[in-house]
Each structure stands twice: as C-alpha cells, then as structure tokens.
Structure 1
Amino acid sequence: MQNGKMPLEGIRVLELAQIVAGPFCGVLMAEFGAEVIKVEMPGRGDDIRRMGPREGDVGFWWSQENRGKKALTLDLHDPKGQEIVKRLVPHVDVILENFRPGILEKWGLGWETLCQINPRLIMARITAFGQTGPRSHGPGFAAIGSAFGGTWYLNGTQDQPPVRPTPVYPDYLTGLFTAFGVMTALRHRDRTGEGQWIDSSLFESAFRITEYSASMYGRLGTVRERGSRQHVGWPGGACMTKDGHWVAYTAPAQHLFERLCNMLGQPELPRTEAYKTPEMRSQNVPGLLQQIEAWFADRTYEEVERTLEEFQVPYSRIMSMADVFEDPHYAARNMILDVPHPELGTLPQPAVVPKLSASPGRVTHAGPEIGADTDEILSGLGYSPEDIAMLRQDGIV
C-alpha cells in the first residue's frame, strides 16, 4: 500500500496558517494523501522557517511540520492576493486559518463570504482564545494556551513554582483536535452536502486534557495542585538507578500494586490495613516511597529493567533523544524516518502516526522551498505565464 492510493486523495486543503497548530493539522492530512497548499507571504514565509535549530538554510522544525505540502506565496493584504484566494475556494474542500478573529473578514475572506463561493467548504479557524468571548481578539501561543487552559498550573512539583510545559503541546493538541473536527465535518458534508466552520482554540485543547480537575473542583471545591516527582494517589513516579538512569514506574490498580509488592519482597503488604484499599493506599503511599526509591538506587538499570519485566510492573526509562535513536522498540516500529531533502539528502523525523493497516500514511519530502509550487497552482486557476510574471513583479506572489 506504500505506493497505492491514499485515503485522503481528492481532498484539497488551503492552509492560511503559520507556526504550529494550523500547519500540524495540515501535515496530518498531507501524510494521508490530501493535497495541502500552504500559503506564505512572499519573501518572508512562515515564521517557523526561522525558529529552532537549523542546518544551513534548512529549519528542522519547519521541515517536519510542512513536509508533503505544496507551497504558494501570496500577499493576503493586497486585493489581488485576496482575489486569488477567492478563485481557489471553489477548488478546495478545506481552509485552515489561524489569524486573529476579524482579520480575514477585514480582507473579504471571512466565512460568510467564502461559504457563498463554495457552500461545501469546511473552514477550520484556530486561535488562542476562540472566535467568541471577551479574550477572543487577544494574541497567544502555546504557552499562553497552557497557562489559561490550566495545564501550566499543574506542571512541576509541589515545592516549586509552576514549570513551563514543553514541548508546545497545546499547539499539537489543537492541530490534532482540529484534524478530527475537519474529518468529522467532511463526513457530515458527505451525508448532507453542507459545509461548516470549526472554532478551535489553544486554551480549550489544554483544558480538555486536565483529567478530573473540573469535576473535582465543581463538586468538591478542591483545587487540584501540583504533585511531587512521585504520584500522590498510588505508588508511581520516577526513581534513579545506581548507575544514574531515571526510570518511570506506576502501579495504580490492585493487581499492579500486588506485583510491585512481590517485587519488593513484601507480598503481604497489599493485605495489610494500611494498603488494602485504594483510599488507604493513597493515604499511606508516602511511607512506601522511601522503600521503593531505595530499591531502585541499589540496582543498575539493567538489573531494574530485568526485574520489572519479570514482575510485569509498568515502567520505562525516561528517554532522551539519544536513548530514542538507540532503542530497539523504536527501530522495530520504524518510528524514525529518513525523509528526502534536496539539500541535506535526508532528514530524520518522526514517522506518520497512527499506523493504518490498509491505508497507511507516507511522507514524500521534508518541506517545500518557499513558493515552490506557485506557478503550478496559479496556472491551474487560469493565470497565464505573463499574468504570473506581473503578480511576481508587483510582490503579490
């Protein structure tokens, strides 16, 4: 199936988005066969081209989140650039955009205008705070989404200030939620013929993954606080081995707690009054953690891994990227791709996820040069070579 028809072939996406959340949504669709046309300002391009580490002129972050796309340069501030978008709209299924609310409307490219041109259009709108509400027009990036969404408050340990979450997961979560929304909207359109718009925000994506925190506060009035390196509700957390490796482990369920105690040489512990129920374990976990930490500290990582495997206690070394590149499980899952690049030969990047048995995704290139497909796209809209030359001369493309 690697060279066969892709499941999203025939879906055309116009990406009016930059940095991470919108482009990540777009790249997910491109990996499964959608034609994604990325629009960038002439000359400047997406800011992510200049963010993060690079080799020569190649930005690693840019290349990963824009792989497999086509590149069109277009000045959306200019009426001629806006006209090109309007000529593209009848030929696309999805528009991804992450301007502040009202910007596209000011340019005559808002939902109410574009859906008149193409009633089957799906328009996904990504912002920090959403399209409505008192903060809707405020700027924001992943850190702000995390802070406002409640996840930054929970990051770190109880004896320290909140720690900035990394990587920029509100962006990636929002891209993923938006991609799911787009696929749902396309399914609705297949059934009804009706397009729609999607309102995605960074803070709501962060808020959605705060587990039980909302119910706990709403019902009990209890604010969930930061924990420690060890879990406060059951045995679990991270411990250092004798040879300096950090290992994460967890035993939240009764049968896992029993396995952990057997491993520690205390098989009777789960039946004692202090540990026989989840509620009692939660109260008495601190008394057990010192024993667990001492057990890890007395053994090398190789000994710890072998014993955890033997007793089937969930665990993992806390992996650095060097660990990832050496790990046999990553290799067996083919999770690091060597993606073709015209300057560097190949770039190692994470593989496509999830893995589909009949129609897996694939990656054809590690991000296009700025405006690489401009002539092809405009020619398809009926612009002549002379027209394109004039647009280029005027700085529109």
Structure 2
Amino acid sequence: MRKACSYIINKSQRADLVITNYRPETLKKWKIDYSDLVKMKENLVMIHFSAFGTNGPYSEKTGFARVAESFSGLTYMTGYPDRKPIFSGYPIADALAGVYGAFSVILALYHFKQTGEGQLVDLSLYEPLIRIMENYIMSWKEKCLSERVLITPLLLHMIYMIQKIISGLSFLHLHKIFRKISDRYRTSRISERSKISYQSIKSKKSDELDEYFISFFSEHTLEHSREIMEKHGVAYSPVNSVADLFNDPHFKTERLLFPLLIMH
C-alpha cells in the first residue's frame, strides 16, 4: 500500500486532474487526500466523489445509489399516493452524479486555465438529487407533500438492498451481517432462520429474505435498527421526507437547505 500511495503522489504531481471515490477517512489514512496532494502541487484540480461528501456527521458512512436516493427524499416522492415509496428501475444517483461531476470538472479546469488556480470539487451522491427536486422542496410546506406515513422506512430499504444487489462481495458482507446479528441478538426465531436466510442469499430466494428481515426488524425500534446497521457497517438510509431533511443533522451541517426570508 505504501508503494501504491507513493505512485499516486508522484503521478498527481504531473496530472491536470485527480479523480477519486474513496471515503474521506480512507484518503486521510493513506495521506493522499486533497490537503496532502496539494502540498506537492499547489494548483491541482481534484474531484472527490463520496456518498455523503467530505463534511458533516455522515461523511464517513458508506453508501451507493439507492442509499443516496432514499436519503435525498427522491424515493419518498416516487410511486403511488396510497402505497409505500418505490425505487426507480435505474440507479439515478450514479448517473446524475457522473453528469454533475463532469460539468464541475470542466468548470474547474477552465478556471485553472484562466487563473492557474487549482481546486477541490467535493461532490456527494445525494447532492445532485436535491437539485432536481427543487420544486418539490419549495412547495413542501404549502402543499404538505411530506404527510405520507411510512410504517417501516428503514425496513423497506433493507429488503430492497438484499433483493437487488446480491453479488459476490455483497454475499460475503451479508453472511457476516447474518452471523453477527444472530450471535448478538439471539432469539429462537432469529436463530432458527439464520441458516435458512444464509442459504437464501446463495439461491437468491427473495421471499425468504423478506421473511427474515421482517421478522428481525419487527422486533426492534427504528433507532435500535439504526444502531445495529451502524455497528455492522451496513449501508442504509431511512426513506426521508422533506421534513426529515430539514431536521437531519447532516443536511444542517452541509447547509444545502436553509430558510429564506421573503419580503412581500
């Protein structure tokens, strides 16, 4: 790893642009984040993709498109009024972040060409989604668009995640989660079904996975479920409404939303 980091440092000194999508703490640990690289090249342009950006209390959380879509409120407003929110069939956050990232890099490089100054483009997966939801956010208070009631917002995302992103890496990760959850919160129901659920991942039997997670999370409050996910490093997000966004500490830190005093 030391050789790899040295290679990156050497290459960045001759590069016009550095692109990374590691979590902020990872780059800091390797001593190759923007504050480190800019010491070697003062006018470096760098774009840092991450799930929640480099600032705020959630900056070190893991995440991917579905997490960002849930966190931003996009999932909450997608679907039918009388049913639970649904995900789109395409990871919108990934594509939109790519477009915004490319646009931001072009502007940063143009600024570099004009002034000789470098800069860091700090782009999270959920930020571009906020931009495409501006009308929804602005009309939130007037039309009460956040009054939809969800019984199990965390569970909805967890079930979807298990069903839709099963892969070799996810399989190993989920196996670890099943094992730790079963050991730590051992009840007769969970213990009996742990082995079944483990086999369900391999065979991709979503009904059995649904049953397992419904059984488990129905026994815990939302906050307790959050603690479990945090402890085991599971990427998750509640399906936020706009009201949730205004009360969320990460949004407050990032200052993406703030009240405006409008004079009539």
TM-score, structure 2 as length reference: 0.53
Matched, 1:130 2:53: yes
Residue 200 of structure 1 aligns with which residue? Answer: 123
1:217 Cα offset (Å): 2.0
1:154 Cα offset (Å): 1.3
1:119 Cα offset (Å): 1.8
Distance 1:170 1:225, change over 3 A: farther
Match of 1:217 among 117, 140, 157: 140
User: Which amino acid is 1:199 matched to?
Assistant: D
Comparing both structures, which one devotes a greater share of its residues to helix? 2
Q: Report if aligned partners of 2:17, 2:46 keep a CA contact under 8 Å in 1.
A: yes
Does the residue aligned with 1:197 lie in a helix, a strand or coil?
strand
User: Which amino acid is 2:34 matched to?
Assistant: W
- Tell me how far apart the structure 2 counterparts of residues 222 and 161 of structure 1 sit (CA, whole Å): 17
Q: Report if aligned partners of 1:129, 1:202 keep a CA contact under 8 Å in 2.
A: yes
Give me the CA root mean square deviation: 1.6
- Residue ranges of structure 1 left out of the alignment (5+ in a row): 1-77, 227-397
Match of 1:97 among 11, 16, 20: 20
- The 5 A counterparts of 1:84-163 are 84-163=7-86
1:196 Cα offset (Å): 0.5
User: Which amino acid is 1:209 matched to?
Assistant: I
- The 5 A counterparts of 1:178-189 are 178-189=101-112
- Tell me how far apart the structure 1 counterparts of residues 29 and 81 of structure 2 sit (CA, whole Å): 46
- Tell me how far apart the structure 1 counterparts of residues 39 and 83 of structure 2 sit (CA, whole Å): 53
Q: Report if aligned partners of 1:158, 1:225 keep a CA contact under 8 Å in 2.
A: no
User: Which amino acid is 1:187 matched to?
Assistant: Y
Q: Report if aligned partners of 2:24, 2:33 keep a CA contact under 8 Å in 1.
A: no
- Tell me how far apart the structure 2 counterparts of residues 120 and 159 of structure 1 sit (CA, whole Å): 53
Q: Report if aligned partners of 1:146, 1:170 keep a CA contact under 8 Å in 2.
A: yes
Residue 100 of structure 2 aligns with which residue? Answer: 177
- Tell me how far apart the structure 1 counterparts of residues 83 and 144 of structure 2 sit (CA, whole Å): 20
- The 5 A counterparts of 1:1-397 are 78-218=1-141, 220=142, 222-223=144-145
Distance 1:156 1:225, change over 3 A: farther
Higher Cα Rg: structure 1 or 2?
1
1:225 Cα offset (Å): 7.2
Q: Report if aligned partners of 1:111, 1:197 keep a CA contact under 8 Å in 2.
A: yes
Distance 1:224 1:114, change over 3 A: same
User: Which amino acid is 2:130 matched to?
Assistant: F
- Residue ranges of structure 2 left out of the alignment (5+ in a row): 149-264
1:153 Cα offset (Å): 0.7
Q: Report if aligned partners of 2:22, 2:50 keep a CA contact under 8 Å in 1.
A: yes
- Tell me how far apart the structure 1 counterparts of residues 61 and 20 of structure 2 sit (CA, whole Å): 16
- Tell me how far apart the structure 2 counterparts of residues 213 and 225 of structure 1 sit (CA, whole Å): 13
- Tell me how far apart the structure 1 counterparts of residues 96 and 89 of structure 2 sit (CA, whole Å): 13
Comparing both structures, which one devotes a greater share of its residues to strand? 1
- Tell me how far apart the structure 1 counterparts of residues 56 and 131 of structure 2 sit (CA, whole Å): 18
User: Which amino acid is 1:129 matched to?
Assistant: F
| 1:19-78 CA-partner distances (Å, limit 9, x unpaired) | xxxxxxxxxxxxxxxxxxxxxxxxxxxxxxxxxxxxxxxxxxxxxxxxxxxxxxxxxxx1
- Tell me how far apart the structure 2 counterparts of residues 182 and 156 of structure 1 sit (CA, whole Å): 34
1:221 Cα offset (Å): 6.2
- Tell me how far apart the structure 2 counterparts of residues 158 and 223 of structure 1 sit (CA, whole Å): 10
User: Which amino acid is 2:50 matched to?
Assistant: T
| 1:329-355 CA-partner distances (Å, limit 9, x unpaired) | xxxxxxxxxxxxxxxxxxxxxxxxxxx
| 1:103-152 CA-partner distances (Å, limit 9, x unpaired) | 11111101111112122211111111111111111111000000011110
Does the residue aligned with 1:138 lie in a helix, a strand or coil?
coil
TM-score, structure 1 as length reference: 0.36
Q: Which portions of structure 1, spanning 4 or more consecutive aligned residues, are displaced by more than 4 angstroms?
A: none
Residue 168 of structure 2 aligns with which residue? Answer: none
- Tell me how far apart the structure 2 counterparts of residues 221 and 158 of structure 1 sit (CA, whole Å): 14
